[in-house]
Amino acid sequence: MAEREHKRRFRVRVREEGEPRKDGSIRRRLRERPRIRPRVFGYLTEEKESLRQGFAALFVSSVGELVAGIVLAGIAGTLEELVGLAVLIPAAIGMRGAIFGAMGSRLSTSIQTGLFSFSLRRGVLAENVQAAAVLSLVSGVFLAFLARYLSDILGVATELSVVDYVVISTVGGIIAGALLLVITVFVARTSVARGWDMDNIASPMLTAAGDILTLPSLVVAAYLIDIPVFSGGLALVLVAAAVAVAVLGFRLGARNLRRILAESLPILAITGTVTILVGVALEERSEQFTTLLALSVLLPAFLQEGGALGGILSSRLSSKIHLGLLAPRGLPPVAAFRDFVLIYTFAAGVYLFIGAASHVLAVVLFPDGSSPGLLAMMGISTLAGLIATTAAVLAAYYGSVASYRLGLDPDTYGIPIITAAVDLLGFMSLIIALIIFGLAG
């Protein structure tokens, strides 16, 4: 309640005195300045710093996603051996981005509203670290059961048992989550120290780090399955630990920690279900992606860059709504369209780059017909990417507006909603683009 009251007073102060600087201080408006509404596309010239920071972060994240794509192409043999593992991959990757992207968005808002302090004992940072740890453990167990039983319901072949899925999903999530916690805290502290706008850099950097770390973590965790007695015991311990930390978080945690958990668990459950469906679709088309390895290189970058773009937009919209600079309306106001243009500008450059880079990397690392060609890869990536970006823009805006109107925190809900929407619709748009280019039936 104290945090929300602080935000309410800050919004009143903004309306009375002026606009916020990036360091959280207030810049008084010149009352004699004519009230001229800038054109939407002219907004890009006013956002040079956002463009510079955003493109830099997206380029770094794209390179990281391509590394994850190389890892995915490199474990094609493992996917063929462990039938059913592909069902888990999009969900495990998406869950890391949803948990830590939302954490980054909340920290960004706390920085801009003056609530952030670098303390791991109490305050906003400590509560978010605790929430991320609980959510990582609980989501790992949840995804394991979901992957196994949805595979049965939908008739998808899998050779992995529930115990196997629990061990791979939860241990892999713990390894990747621990490393991502360190990266998230580092990004927040560096943003404060250097005056960066965390809204522009947190989502792409954290999603890229999540992709790079999650795939190897799942492979490492896969070595712990099929060990007599040990694997079953480990699975039971992980399930019990997930239940215990969830109960302790709600009963003994600070009020803000309980609020984050209460708001996060339902939306993460929906996100996990949707991304498991993406994994089911990937498992059914795994032969296509293991034959044309350029598509495997492209896939993590393609899915997660859509989420990163939507995450940037969601973070910007959430911060503006909290600060009273954007009215949460049913029809987006002009101020929102300016941010939409910024996101489409990022998208055009990013999808052309990852399409071309996927072709080059596949040809160099996996020769013998691993790519349909440079122009085809650029065309597939760009066409599907613009469709996915549209989904991300709509999910970011209406997710932020709906959660705010319902009295929930847009920072907590925005990025998980985007992850679910972009992963599912992004994969569908990629298949549509492959059909248009004659590479899928």
The answer on pLDDT for 28 being more than 60 is no
More confident residue, 109 or 47: 109
Question: Would you say residue 32 lies in a domain?
Answer: no
Query: Is 225:172 a contact under the CB 8 Å cutoff?
Result: no
pLDDT at 243: 94
Alpha-helical segments (H) within 18-123: 43-46, 48-74, 76-81, 85-112
Question: Would you say residue 221 lies in a domain?
Answer: yes
More confident residue, 425 or 181: 181
More confident residue, 196 or 165: 165
CA 234 to chain centre: 29
pLDDT at 29: 39
Question: Would you say residue 28 lies in a domain?
Answer: no
Question: Would you say residue 8 lies in a domain?
Answer: no
Question: Would you say residue 2 lies in a domain?
Answer: no
* Nearest C-alpha neighbor of 364 from the set 81, 79, 66, 75: 66
Question: Would you say residue 85 lies in a domain?
Answer: yes
Question: Would you say residue 21 lies in a domain?
Answer: no
Question: Would you say residue 308 lies in a domain?
Answer: yes
Residues 368-380, mean pLDDT to the nearest whole number: 87
> Considering its fold, how many domains does the chain have in total?
1
Spatial neighbors of 195 by CB under 8 A, at least 6 apart, are: 22, 23
Residues 312-319, mean pLDDT to the nearest whole number: 77
Helix, strand, coil percentages, rounded to 5, for the chain: 80, 0, 20
Domain span at residue 92?
Answer: 43-436
DSSP state, residue 37 = P
List, for residues 258-291, the tens digit of each pLDDT value. Answer: 888 888 888 888 888 888 888 888 877 777 777 7
pLDDT at 351: 93
The answer on pLDDT for 20 being more than 50 is no
| C-alpha dihedral sign at 83, 86, 91, 97 | positive
- Percentage of residues of the chain with pLDDT beyond 90: 15
